[in-house]
Structure 1
Amino acid sequence: MFSGKRERVAVVGGGAAGLGAAWRLAEKYEVTIYEAEAELGGNAYAHTFDDTDVQVDMGVMITLPWAYPNLYCMFQKYGIETRAAAATLLVSFPDPEDPTKELTWSTDSPVPGAGFFGEYLEAEASRFEQMMFEIAALPLNEQMLPIARFLDAPYPGVPHSGRYTPRFLTQGLCPLLSLFLVTRDSLLRTPAWSLSMMFRFGTLSFFSPTTWRTITGGTREYIARLTRSFRARRLVSTKVVGVKRSGREVRVRDERGGEEVYDHVVLATAANVALRLLGEGASADERRVLGMYTYQPAVAYLHADPSLLSARFGPGFFFQYRSENPTPGPALDGVMTYSMKDAAGLQGYDGPVLVSVFSERPPKEPTPCFARREFSHLIADDVALKARMEMHKLQGHDRTWFCGDYTTFSSHEDAFTSGMVIGEAFGVDYPFREHPAALFRYTQNRVMMMPRLGVRTRVGLGVRLELLRDTLAVAWPQLRAKLRPRRHDGGAVVEI
């Protein structure tokens, strides 16, 4: 499938995944990036604030060195600086007995046994965080079950599972998860593995704020430095409307009627967009796997409207979840608001600098609304996880490759890393092997994305052996769990 000449590769989508792929591919290939928007970056979007030259992030706002090791290796390589930002969460609901009053809790070191959190949520929150460590000891296929399976009833081998109250789930757990999983729907269908990892590594906690980091100059700064580091043709404001494949070439057609021929195409878009671009030419497997993913639209406002804030919200809080419903359900109906003033370095601005997501109305006049941005968020439920486990079957067929957060673990780190996996599939070396944490995270992505044993790729023998090792490492615990004798004890299944 690969020839000796410098082949032409089209990368459709200029977000983190597409840029990660283009960055690596440009070492050996002639790369063209297609981006429908006026600038590269995708969800890593920053808006120039008011009449300043300050960039305020509206999509990717916070990062974590230990959770985003490949991004931080790239930041170090290109001198991209970050600064600390305590991600303190405030949650607010009306009091059912008196809607004029608020019931609030926060991750800002709640006093044991005090207030709304201490009375209604603390005991279950403590038990839940213990359960996150217990889930990590299960076979991988059981860790991949929806978290709801561990909440409603006891689960064998997980002592702190079951008997979680609706109040804890809707006023405690779901608002906390919204800090990282920006969606309203299916939060409790998130794979338990994902949540276990977040709580075990300190990404989320009920009991203390996480020290996240923001990018100095906004995400636009890292996009600019990364794209300056490699040669590629960049076609911004160029929406691709179709990809037609044959055994020898790929034709990419844009909305203005232009069509170009490439040797390969990398679809670095959302799964539903990739499927739409392939159209009638999509294979049965492509239609089945890509069709399993679902997305939820969202609108973000950059504004200065304080009416969206709780009366308790003030200095020290970074994120707020506020609902006007005293009895919310698991599909969250509140507004998520980020205070971006300190993160963007706008302390001298007279007024709040806020980004709100899922507001049912624009910010109130006369307070200014500086920008409006539409996003599409992947619903990272168990169905999406099953689709991810089959993505390796699609890669490389008919000169087509796929990358993006939906192909791996749904974070900005994983979107960027998925692009590097595609680069390695084309024979371009992974650049951060000397960094253990980055290599480990990269390997996790690769084992999900790369065709088994490196078929249809240009990887060398060493990488093929790594792929064999990693595939066996994933498959063996699942096989062992299936073969292990089990007995029933009082209605529960117990492993022997």
Structure 2
Amino acid sequence: MRGCRSFGDRRGLPFDYETSVHIIRYEPVWFPDHSFRISRHLQVIQRENRPVPRTKLARSGVCETVSAGHPPPKSHYKIAVVGTGIAGMSATWLLNQGHDVTVYEKEPRIGGHSNTVEASLSSEKLPVDTGFIVYNERNYPNLTALFAHLGVDTDASDMSFAASVDGGGLEYSGSDINGLIGQRTNVLRPRFWRMVRDLLHFYKNAPAFLNEPDDGMSLGDYLDRHGYSDAFISDHLLPIGAAIWSTSALEMRAYPAKAFIRFFVSHGLFELVDRPQWRTVTGGSRRYVEKLTESYRDRIRFDAAVKVLRHPDHVEIHDSRGQVDRFDAVVLASHADESLRLLGDADDRERALLGPWRYTKNRAVLHSDTSLMPKRRNIWSSWNFLEDSRDQADAPICVTYWMNRLQSLPSSKQFFVTLNPNHEPQSDSILYETEYEHPFFDTAALKTQSRLWSLQGHRRTWYCGSYFGYGFHEDALQSGLAAAEQLGGLRRPWQVADENGRIHVTTIERAAAE
């Protein structure tokens, strides 16, 4: 059935609506102007064969409507957006085209993980990204469309991976056979060949596991149950997973097996050929941040930590300067755990869905110290996993990004960004450091994902962030755009296949014709 037919119930109680196919559960979601929309729960409750009256669509994509005694929705809202990562920036960018938006950012800068630093050594000044670095067109369709719409230039990049484990006792890169045996003594090690054997076995057989019933098995249990060697687990799979999700190798064992394998399948990581071409923003990610925020830069309040209080007819934002402002709705474009802390009046439903989320803190250092790269120069890759000892699986992930290679920096000086250095870079080599937080996707958190969208519009509050998906830029962007579309009645100015395919979005429609 296209759209929905909406009936009012001022008590806000859920109700059933019979169609000629089945009964679908609907739940009213109240909006700033006392109109409401309907959250459609897609579970089929009971099949029926009853004819239903048909009404004319108010317009394509908007509900078929039966008056509920409420005034038509106003077309202009006063909205607060908290956070300026890609989720908050994109939500604001779209909402700003039809509504009055104020943005709160607790930091003195905008962009979240899109953080470009001017690296200066002698007379050189180069824009180096320290958080978000690369994307590809296959897995980042909305980001690709956004860059095209904004006129953001990009360059081809390289996403090779290397591992240096046991203090450099074993080193290899995955670029080709020469990289794999770049440390020539590898060919004499039975442990190395066990790793290679199980790597080929895992890449061939793991995708079939997606067809089996989901019992919530962790990655560690999957690997143990299928008899994979410690050489493969400790020297390859956990390092590459830890590098992708910026978490410890030990915590990667708790990652749900199906989610891990599904990510590898969707990103072409099981393919030895025809992998997607990765790209980076020319001049650093700051270039897209500047263009995305150009239309509302004067409405961003910096250094403004907030507390959110909801009322039946408005939302109050209390900022760290003591200022209190009223809004029709608020969009929390912050981490799940932070969003929960910002709510001064969180209810059981919000705590149940946001409470399970945990985040890993990672120190990021921009430097020029080559000691935080593999010992053998021929092993150097774009991503370099470093481990002092195999007994330190619970240590924070240490991975070095070779920025000259990733961003094609025109410099003879080498620039690196290392997450959680396992030893301190030389002090005179450090150019910048900061801290980033990344969501930790354990079973408890992932169980909430399919229900997170049910919070949208609940008590005048909307949510977006990378935790709605896999934790990456495209996930945050999809959630920001989808939340803005449903709250503001607007539409992103492009069409891509499966535009919300990385997140769980349920239908929320206007309940009154415009």
- Give the alignment's TM-score, normalised by structure 1: 0.81
Could you tell me which runs of 5 or more consecutive residues in structure 1 were left unpaired when the two chains were aligned.
154-161, 462-496
2:269 match: secondary structure: coil
Name 1:298's counterpart in structure 2: 362
- Residue 203 of structure 1 deviates from its aligned partner by 4.3
The 5 A counterparts of 1:42-191 are 42-50=112-120, 52-94=124-166, 102-110=169-177, 115=187, 118-138=192-212, 141-142=214-215, 145-153=217-225, 162-184=226-248, 186-191=251-256
Deviations 1:103-122 (A, max 9, x none): 11211113689635851311
> What SS is found at the alignment partner of 1:244?
strand
Aligned to 2:427: 365
Paired residue for 2:78?
8
SS in 2 for 1:125: helix
Cα distance in 1, alignment partners of residues 395 and 194 from structure 2: 19
Letter in 1 for 2:450: M
Q: Distance in 1 between matches of 2:386 and 2:315?
A: 48
- Spell out, residue by residue over 1:133-168, the C-alpha distance to the aligned partner (whole angstroms, 9 max, x if none): 2023335x45x6432342221xxxxxxxx1112332
Aligned-partner Cα distance in 2 for 1:248–1:333: 46
Give the SS at the match of 1:343. helix
Cα distance in 2 between the residues matched to 1:334 and 1:433: 38
Match of 1:396 in 2: 457
Residues 359 and 316 (structure 1), Cα distance of their counterparts in 2 relative to 1, 3 Å cut: closer
Post-superposition shift, 1:285?
A: 1.1
Matched, 1:412 2:470: no
Residues 283 and 232 of structure 1: CA distance in aligned 2, closer, same or farther (over 3 Å): farther
Any idea what the Cα deviations from partners look like across 1:375-410, whole Å, max 9, x if unmatched? Answer: 111111222111212212322111001110112331
Find the aligned partners of 1:345 and 1:443 in 2 and give their Cα distance. Answer: 31
Distance 1:427 1:459 in 2: 14
Q: Residue deviations 1:358-389, cap 9 Å, x none? A: 114431134x2110111111111222111212
- What is the CA distance between 1:47 and its match in structure 2? 0.8
| Paired residue secondary structure (1:180) | helix
CA distance in 2, matches of 1:206, 1:165: 21
User: In structure 1, what is the Cα distance between the partners aligned to 2:511 and 2:371?
Assistant: 55
Report the alpha carbon displacement of residue 178 of structure 1 after superposing the two structures with TM. 2.5
Which among 324, 329, 340 is matched to residue 275 of structure 1?
A: 340
* Structure 1 Cα separation of the partners of residues 421 and 348 of structure 2: 39
Assess, with a 3 A threshold, how the Cα gap between structure 1 residues 444 and 205 changes in structure 2: closer, same or farther: closer
Give the match's secondary structure for 1:238: coil
CA apart distance, 1:210 = 6.3
Structure 2 CA distance, aligned partners of 1:411 and 1:460? 36
Q: State the alpha-carbon separation in 1 of the partners of residues 312 and 251 from structure 2.
A: 40
1:22-65: CA deviations, max 9, x gaps? 11111221111111122211011111111655321111111111
| 1:422 to 2:483 alignment | yes
Task: Quickly say closer, same or farther: Cα 1:459–1:427, change in 2 above 3 A.
Answer: farther
Change (3 A) 1:363 1:234: farther
Measure the CA separation in 2 of the matches of 1:318 and 1:433: 32
Give 3-state SS (helix, strand or coil) of 1:11's partner: strand
2-structure distance, mates of 1:152, 1:66: 32
Note if 1:442 corresponds to 2:500.
yes
- The 3 A distance-change label for structure 1 pair 91 and 305 is same
In 1, are the aligned partners of 2:171 and 2:379 still within 8 Å (CA)?
no
Which residue, 410, 417, 433 being the options, matches 1:347? 410
Equivalent position of 1:489 in the other structure: none
Amino acid at match of 2:406: A
Contact 1:323 1:333 in 2 (8 A): no
Letter in 2 for 1:194: A
Partner secondary structure for residue 342 of structure 1: helix
Distance 1:118 1:206 in 2: 21
Match of 1:221 in 2: 287
How far, CA to CA, are the matches of 1:80 and 1:165 in structure 2?
Answer: 45
- Residue type of the partner of 1:107? G
* Aligned mates of 1:307, 1:182 — CA distance in 2: 20
CA–CA separation in structure 2 for the residues paired with 1:266 and 1:145: 34
Q: 2:387 aligns with which of 323, 347, 350?
A: 323
Which residue number in structure 2 is paired with residue 195 of structure 1?
260
Identical positions, percent: 27
| Distance apart, 1:207 and its partner CA | 5.4
Asked if the contact 1:70/1:432 (under 8 Å) is kept, the reply is no
- The unaligned stretches of length 5 or more in structure 2 are 1-30, 34-73
Hey, what's the Cα distance between the residues in 1 that align with 2:471 and 2:447?
Answer: 13
Q: Cα deviations across residues 207-236 of structure 1 (Å, max 9, x unaligned)?
A: 5786421111111111111112x4465324
Q: Give 2:45's aligned residue.
A: none
More moved, 416-425 vs 184-193: 184-193
SS in 1 for 2:108: coil
Q: Residues 423 and 164 (structure 1 numbering): CA distance in 2 closer, same or farther, change over 3 Å?
A: same
CA–CA distance in 1 between the matches of 2:329 and 2:316? 9
Aligned to 2:459, the other structure's residue is in SS state helix
Which SS does the other structure have where 1:190 is aligned?
Answer: coil
CA distance in 1: counterparts of 2:125 and 2:146, whole angstroms: 25
Letter in 2 for 1:419: G
In structure 1, distance between residues paired with 2:169 and 2:493? 49
**Equivalent position SS for 2:102:** strand
Deviation at 1:458, TM superposition (A): 3.1
Which amino acid is the alignment partner of residue 510 of structure 2?
R
| Alignment partner of 1:241 out of 265, 285, 306 | 306
How far has the Cα of 1:316 moved from its partner?
A: 6.2
Separation in structure 2 between the aligned mates of residue 238 and residue 124 of structure 1, nearest angstrom: 50
TM-score of the aligned structures, taking structure 2 as reference length: 0.78
Deviations 1:435-458 (A, max 9, x none): 22xxx141442xx244xx42xx53
Asked which structure has the greater CA Rg, the reply is 2
Q: Choose the corresponding residue for 2:99, options 29, 50, 57.
A: 29
3-state SS of paired residue (1:189): coil
Alpha-carbon deviation of 1:354? 0.4
Distance change (3 Å), C-alpha of 1:303 and 1:262: same
